[in-house]
Structure formats: structure tokens, C-alpha cells
Structure 1
């Protein structure tokens, strides 16, 4: 599930190692928008986009400090979901998601392609596949596929209807910061959450982000 960023350090003519140029959020957005403008297939989005995202999460300073912290109040004070960029024309959505200590998200789907890069700390991601015949609208049987501890600089891919159902857990004692990238604004997008114990399917709709 993880992909490491390339080493961007290089040497000058004298053989001395030079510090790599910092990659900014603006750089990432520009490259992603240019990529999507070329009308790429999903494979190209993932191949190129995951490389861009790995560079972005390799530079924590690219995201303002306030978007790298839990919201600190309300129903999900231990969590943070911050909008960084959305273009209704291309569909590109970029958010910063912060998982406080002990934070948990039950298995859910996405209904759009996605890429998730860890910027700081660790997060345990568990993937599931649906193994029932899809004949019921309110029930599903999930089978665990794999689980991994995702580290800073690593990128996970979400492939609609193929490999997109996951559970997220922060088992550490400090916040984990991620950058999420999707091909569609999650606000208003009809998705579902799965109950592993009962098999129940519940509708899930994101109505807003913590900064808008």
C-alpha cells in the first residue's frame, strides 16, 4: 500500500551535495491540474499523481500548521478535516486529514479515485473486500484483505469498486497528518459505512470540512 518518494537531492559540478528544492502545495496542485487536463486514464493518474503526492508529504511545511492539528472542539475534537483545494471543473479535491491519538474510522468506501499520503507520524490502514453478492442494499459481508502501518512519505491508492474499502486507526499517542487527494468533492457524495459485526450498511455523506 505504501510508496516512497524519490530522492530529490543532487550534486553540483564540484560533486557537492545540494539541498533539494522544497515542493509546495501550489506546485502539487499545478501539476495535478495539468495532469487531469490531459484527460489521463486512471493508471496514469495514479502513476504520476502518487509521485507528486509523495513529494508533497515529504515537505510538512507545505501545509500550514493550523491544518496539521485536530480541530480541538465539537463532536470530533480529536480529528481534523481541512479543505486545501477544490476545482469544480476538474473535480480535483485536496484535503489535510488529522487523526488524533486513538482516532478511528470504521470501514467505508469512497466512490471516486483517491490517493492518501502520510505526512507525519503513523497510521494503521486495514483494507477489506466485499464478498457477498450485492443483492441487499442494507447488508454486506466484508472480508479483511490486508493491514499495514503507513509511514511518512508513503502513499496509498483507492480504486473505486476494486480496492477502496478501508478502516483507519491511529494507535499512537500523537496526531497523524495525511494529505487526501480525490477526483470528486466528497461533500454531498453518497457513500457507505460498513458495520463489521452486524453487516449493516449505513449511508454516509460528508456535509462540510472543518474550515468551510
Structure 2
């Protein structure tokens, strides 16, 4: 199957990536193999001058919002992967969280942020407080690509400037619970992921 015929000038910015990604679903690959290859395709988005130009006008969610928010640029009608935008204001911090059962590739389009990954040492099925060990701690810049497998706990700490990321997910989030860990108390809750705001490029 070819990429969907969408009459939208904005979609043309995404088309090279979408066509290459759809081709990977036609190959006999396991999830990890496929998502490593998706990560390799991210320069098709992150190196796009037209996409960077459009990103300047993307809205950051209100600081007092009840939940996180993603812009939803594309949802594949056959393979269900989505392309999101995530905008953070300077010095914004995410909770420690996972993406439940989904695969995620996260690419930085502009700005800088710190990413910390965690390993959970307690029995998640038995405890309402998480015992966490940091396993990675690094600063990312434009062009950086991160592959986040299902269930991996992590947090993002934006730098002093606005940060824009392009996210490719194995499916649309927001309608099923994800694990959230309070960074101060380590209390564990489960809540829907980011609200999805459809956005025409």
C-alpha cells in the first residue's frame, strides 16, 4: 500500500518520512527491529527546514493544564503509528513516567533538555511507591533521537529556552493509563497520557 492520498500542503513535509515508515511495516521485523529503523528515519523530520519554520508557531500548553498535551500531526490509517509534536516552555519538568505498552521515538527539533531514565527495583505489582535507580542521565540537543521502549520510566527537564520535539509513537496515546511517579515522594499513580490536539501543519 502506498502512503494515504492526503490533499494537504502540510502533509507534504511529512510524506518522505511517512512513506519510509510505512515500508517498514511491510517488512518482516519484530518490534525492536522496526523501531530502531524508525529512529534511523528521524532526520527526515528533524532536518526539515519547512518543519522547523512551522514549529515556531506551535502553541505550548498552558502552565496550569490538568494533563500533558501533544499536537497530533498524523495518524496512519493502516499501521496506526502517529506523529506528534511536543512543546515545552523553558525550565518545564515532566513527571517520571512511562508510555505503557507503546514504542516511542523522540527527536529534538529545537532547544535543549536533560533526560533521566530509571530502573524500578521494587515489585510494581505489589507497591504503590517506586524504588528507582537512575540508569541514564544526559543532555540532548537539536537532532538528538531517543528510542523509548515500552515500560521504561523516564523524565525530561527542559532547559532555559522553549523546547520542541517530534515524537513518533506506535499508536495514539491518551486513552489508556500510563505509570506516573511523583519525583519527591515516589508515589505511583496511573493516568491517561497526553491529550491529543489535532493540528494541521
TM-score bin (small chain): 0.7 to 0.9
In structure 2, what is the Cα distance between the partners aligned to 1:183 and 1:67?
Answer: 26
Asked which structure has the greater CA Rg, the reply is: 1
TM-score normalized by the length of structure 2: 0.81
User: What's the RMSD between the two structures over aligned residues?
Assistant: 2.5
In structure 1, the gaps of 5 or more residues are 1-22
CA 1:49–1:207: 2 relative to 1, 3 Å: closer
* C-alpha deviation, 1:84, in angstroms: 0.9
Q: Of 141, 154, 157, which residue of structure 1 is paired with 2:147?
A: 157
In structure 1, what is the Cα distance between the partners aligned to 2:187 and 2:178?
Answer: 14
Matched, 1:190 2:190: no
Alignment match, 1:127: 117
| C-alpha contact 1:113 1:160 (8 A) present in aligned 2 | yes
Alignment match, 1:206: 193
* C-alpha deviation, 1:68, in angstroms: 5.4
SS at match of 2:156: strand
| C-alpha contact 2:109 2:142 (8 A) present in aligned 1 | yes
In structure 1, what is the Cα distance between the partners aligned to 2:196 and 2:56?
Answer: 11
Q: Deviations over 1:172-192 (max 9, x none)?
A: 2x2111111111210212211
Count of residues in correspondence between the two structures: 186
SS at match of 1:38: coil
